[in-house]
Structure formats: C-alpha cells, structure tokens
C-alpha cells in the first residue's frame, strides 16, 4: 500500500475549511451538500454546464486547488447561481439558494472576516 503522507494544511486551506463549515450550517436541508443528479433534477446536466456543491468545494480545498479566497467565493456563487437558474423562482431550491447566497456574501465580506468572535485576518 502507498502511505499518503499527511501534508500540513496551508493557512488558506484552514481558512477555507472554517468558512465552508460556516456556509454549510446555512444549508440545513443539505440541498447543496452533494452534486445534483439528473435523476432528482430532470435535464440538469444539459442546463447546468458547471455544476458545483459543498462536497466538491471540500475536495478542492483538500487538494489545494484554491489559491485565492476569491477562487473559493467564485465556486460558492456558482453553486448558488446554478440553483437560482435551474429552479423556478418559487421553488424551495431557488428560495434556499437566494437565502444561502445572501448569508454567504454577508459572511465573506472583508469587514466581517476581520471582526466577530473569530477574527480571521
Ligand atoms: C429533496 O432532497 C434533496 C436531496 C438532495 C438534493 O441535491 C443534492 C436535492 C436537490 C438540490 C437541488 C438544487 C440545489 O438545485 N435540487 C433541484 C431539484 C430537485 N432536487 C434538488 C434535494
């Protein structure tokens, strides 16, 4: 077996993990926890060409694919925008995506990253 050496987490990875946990808390029904499949959402993969979900974001953090905070924020926005575009306005998914996006943008505002109980910068 090949022992995978546990790399020490970069400061950015630790920050993104903290932010991801805070954002996941705003998705109590776990609508954004896993990739959306065509089985549960007919025609999804034809309409949404760049799918994104929290499990994929977590995998990208662990594989050091984010080099800037803005890259992480872009994937979070993409995930919410996909749900807003695919689902009709009055559906639970569209409403949940708009609420999650609003909450996420508040959390990720620079002034909120330097204030509050855990000042990150
Ligand atoms: C009802 O339980 C679940 C469970 C997991 C889901 O996505 C991972 C979803 C889900 C998540 C979504 C999204 C995010 O668009 N969605 C759209 C249409 C139908 N279902 C969904 C719903």
Q: Pocket of ligand 1, candidates 93, 96, 100: which has the most ligand atoms within 8 Å of its Cβ, to mutate?
A: 93
Asked if residue 54 has its Cβ within 6 Å of ligand 1, the reply is no
pLDDT tens per residue across span 96-107: 999 999 999 999
Burial letters for 20-32: b for 16+ Cβ neighbours within 10 Å, e otherwise? beebbebbeeebb
What percentage of the chain has pLDDT greater than the value 70? 91
Q: Taking the CB of residue 14, how many other CB atoms lie within 10 A of it?
A: 13
Please tell me the distance from the alpha carbon of residue 10 to that of residue 37, in angstroms, as a whole number: 32
Q: What is the mean pLDDT of residues 84-89?
A: 98
pLDDT tens per residue across span 26-41: 999 999 999 999 999 9
Q: What is the pTM of this model?
A: 0.91
87-93 contacts, C-beta under 8 A, 24 or more apart: 92/29, 92/31, 93/31
Q: If you count them, how many residues does the chain have?
A: 121
Residue in 83, 82, 81, 88 with CA at minimum distance from that of residue 105? 81
Q: Whose CA is nearest to atom 2 of ligand 1?
A: 31
Q: What was the ipTM of the complex prediction?
A: 0.98
Ligand 1 nearest-atom number relative to CA 79:
14
Please tell me the distance from the alpha carbon of residue 66 to that of residue 63, in angstroms, as a whole number: 8
Asked if residue 93 has its Cβ within 6 Å of ligand 1, the reply is yes
Q: Whose CA is nearest to atom 10 of ligand 1?
A: 31
Q: Whose CA is nearest to atom 15 of ligand 1?
A: 83
């Amino acid at each position: 077996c090949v022992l995978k050496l546990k790399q020490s987490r970069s400061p950015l990875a630790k920050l993104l993990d903290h932010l991801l946990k805070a954002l996941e808390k705003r998705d109590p029904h776990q609508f954004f926890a896993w990739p959306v499949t065509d089985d549960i959402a007919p025609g999804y993969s034809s309409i949404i060409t760049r799918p994104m979900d929290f499990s994929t974001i977590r995998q990208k953090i662990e594989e050091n694919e984010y080099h800037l905070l803005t890259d992480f924020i872009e994937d979070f926005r993409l995930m919410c925008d996909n749900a807003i575009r695919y689902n009709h306005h009055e559906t639970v998914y569209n409403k949940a995506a708009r609420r999650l996006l609003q909450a996420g943008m508040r959390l990720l505002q620079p002034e909120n990253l330097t204030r509050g109980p855990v000042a990150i910068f």
